[in-house]
Amino acid sequence: MKITKSQLREMIKEVIQEAGMFTDYHQLNRAYMDKFIKNYKKLNSKNLVKKKGGDVYGFRKGEREAHWKYDDNFRLNYDIDKAKVLGLINFYSRVKQNHPWG
């Protein structure tokens, strides 16, 4: 598989833009994402979810930096412990205490 220079530039640009924001990701089915968003909003009444282009972002009202990003490739990008992030899907009552996004 050959990658053109313009494709490579785009890939590098994307990685650099998100390098400081998100350190890890998990492939996540859209059905689970809906439950994740519902529980993310329950963590704090000021947590908002906004769509920009094909990506969905979660952040606190009044803040510029996103807590997480869900992209077109079904990747949930985040920068905290994986158990805390994915726990919002099925184990909300366990992870809600002392959650960094709460």
In a domain, 5, yes or no: no
Q: Summarize pLDDT for 14-73 with one digit per residue, the tens.
A: 554 444 578 888 999 989 999 999 999 999 999 999 998 888 999 898 887 889 999 988
pTM of the model: 0.77
Q: What is the pLDDT of residue 62?
A: 83
Which helix (H) or strand (E) element contains residue 56? Answer: strand 55-60
In a domain, 56, yes or no: yes
| Residue 52 domain boundaries | 24-95
Q: What is the pLDDT of residue 4?
A: 85
In a domain, 68, yes or no: yes
* Rg of the chain, C-alpha, whole Å: 15
Q: In the chain, how many domains are there?
A: 1
Q: Which residue has the tokens 């809600």?
A: 96
* Per-residue b or e along 40-54, where b marks 16 or more CB atoms closer than 10 Å to that residue's CB: beebeeebbbeeeee
In a domain, 9, yes or no: no
In a domain, 14, yes or no: no
